[in-house]
Amino acid sequence: MDEVIICEKPRSSEKIARALFPNAKKKKYKKIYYWVHQEEDKKTIIIPAAGHLYTLKPKNPNEELFFDLEWAPVPEVDKKKRYIQDYIDAIDGLAKNADKYLHACDYDIEGTLIGYNVLKHICGEEALQKTLRMKFSTLTRDDIIKAYKNPIELDYGQVDSGIARHVLDFIFGVNISRSLMKSVKESTNRFIKLSAGRVQTPALSILVDREKAIRKFKPEPYWIIKAILENDIIALNQRGKIFQKNKVKSVLGTCKGKDAIIEEVKINRITRMPPAPFNLGGLQAEAYKVFGLSPKKTQSIAQNLYIEGYISYPRTSSQKLPKTIDYEKIFKGLSKDPRFKEKITNLKKPLKPHEGKKEDEAHPAIHPTGLLPEKLGKYEKKVYELIVYRFISVFGEKALIESMNTKLDIGGEIFKFSRKRVVKMGWMEQYPYQKIEDEKFPEFEEGEKIPVKEVKAEERETKPPSRYNEASLIKEMEKRGLGTKSTRADIISILYDRKYI
């Protein structure tokens, strides 16, 4: 019996081959490497694609607008990608007429469509009738073997979703982009490469609307009034922003030469729950905040870490960590690094993760596999450690923060100041990227008089809305349902490439 396993990319095909058949022979078909395992009367071929081998093109390229489309080999449409023909030739030469096919591309809409098109257009329609699906969230040996031994049916709902997305993107993007460039050329007699898209254009619209609001904004002067007390305590007048200058003078006059009387001291305890595990959007936002990494760079690094088997599948919306991922085993692997071991040792049993609300049927939240990297680049190391420490902290205890809110009276004017300090570190011990507020509480009693060093007014201006950064734009796109977890970073890159931003 001949069995063929179709993988999404060369590196993943190697990982799958080595996990399933350690003695598989590495062979070459023209320029493409593949793997063969022979066991008695069963022969298994593991062969890679290179992402999408097929793309959409118009059936009649002479039409002004394209609505009648067909799938074609990528090199036929994009001459710069001639190398993809080698993959098509290899699959055509090695994978036809097998008795069984296993679709082992990434388990998401794009991965499903990649494998489906390979099977349909190269191996033939009949191959689809003999195809089962491998579903895994990590490229670890155990997960790959489990997926191989327990294949599922091909999800035609995912296939249809992928086809619909590509068709809509083509009809909207290509047709409007062509019309846009044609219009500009007719009015300026210049050819300028422009593009529009089903997601790209609404994303650009978000930026344009914000920019219009910023340019339309007219700053207004206002004042805030501060009281400077002993021990460098700064209390703010409860009126907040004051827009009338005569009111400022009145308040300053009322406070002049007066002591402060403590009216109220409130001590509250606030519980801070552990963070939710990362989904792709959360990882991109945190990596931007902590390291200044662009969402696209973070996504690329996370994908590489996944391919190498160090983390789970990154293109997920989930903030859930099911028990099936075996927390204990992951922590055992991570504990081989003394830095991680120190954080893990302090976790209380039984292990129970704090999860977020978002779910993804295909994959759990991003988590380390327990396999420690031998060597990583500078930013790969940073992103990997960020994922590990977040994963550990998810199992941490609640943190306890104490807040002090003080109200004081200066000549009838009410001022307030607050302080925060950590009572119990909890999960913050496991997550070194968390900013910790730990301020000294002054010892005040209600009714106590305190000397005032100075009461002063500080002039400021109202500020326009902030411009989006890459991370906040991705968050806004996610909120509005624009794009997918996998495509949002690429959309922003296109806006840069087109010099729209």
Tokens found for residue 101: 């096919």
Write the CB contacts of 304 (distance below 8 Å, at least 6 apart in sequence).
Answer: 380
461-475 burial by CB neighbour count: b if 16+ within 10 A, else e? Answer: eeeeeeebebbebbb
Q: Is 4 helix (H, G, I), strand (E, B) or coil?
A: strand
Q: What are the tokens at 57?
A: 């093109």
Element (H, E) at 455: strand 452-461
CB of 483 closer than 8 Å to CB of 293? no
Domain topology for 2-162: Rossmann fold (3.40.50)
List the alpha helices (DSSP H) in 71-153: 74-77, 84-94, 109-118, 125-128, 141-149
The position carrying tokens 């662009």 is 294
Phi, psi of 480 (to 5 degrees): -90, 0
Q: Note the pLDDT tens digit of each residue in 241-287.
A: 999 999 999 999 999 999 999 999 999 999 999 999 999 999 999 99
Domain ranges of the chain: 2-162, 201-217+464-500, 221-273+399-461, 280-394
Contact at 8 Å (CB) between 115 and 8? yes
Q: Cis omega before residue 350 (within 30°)?
A: yes
**Cα separations (Å) of 276 from 118, 242, 368, 462?**
37, 40, 15, 35
User: How many C-beta atoms surround the C-beta of residue 274 within 10 A?
Assistant: 22
Q: Which of 54, 107, 306, 313 is catalytic?
A: 313
* Whole-number pLDDT of residue 193: 84
Q: Which amino acid is at 181?
A: M
**Tokens in use for 107?**
């388990």
b/e sequence 113-133, b meaning 16+ C-beta within 10 Å: bbbbbbbbbbbeeebbeebbb
Q: How far apart (Å, rounded) are the C-alpha atoms in residues 123 and 98?
A: 9
CATH class (in words) of the domain with range 280-394 = mainly alpha
At 441 the pLDDT is 92
Cα(196)–Cα(206) distance, integer angstroms: 14
- Examine the residue annotation and report whether 313 is marked as an active-site residue of this protein: yes
Q: Can you name the residues that pair with 485 across neighbouring β-strands?
A: none
Q: How far apart are CA 282 and CA 275, in angstroms?
A: 11
Mean pLDDT by 10 residues, the chain (501 residues): 94 97 96 95 96 96 90 96 97 94 96 98 96 97 97 97 95 90 88 89 97 97 96 94 96 95 96 97 96 96 96 96 91 97 93 94 95 95 98 97 97 96 96 91 92 96 96 94 92 92 89
Radius of gyration of the chain (CA): 30
Give, to the nearest 10 degrees, the angle between helix 109-118 and helix 156-188: 90
Q: Which of these, 289, 295, 302, 278, lies nearest to 364 by C-alpha position?
A: 278
Whole-model pTM? 0.91
CA distance 272 to 405: 18
Residue 182 has a pLDDT of: 87
The CATH classification number of 221-273+399-461 equals 2.70.20.10
Structure tokens at 104: 């082992």
pLDDT of residue 301: 98
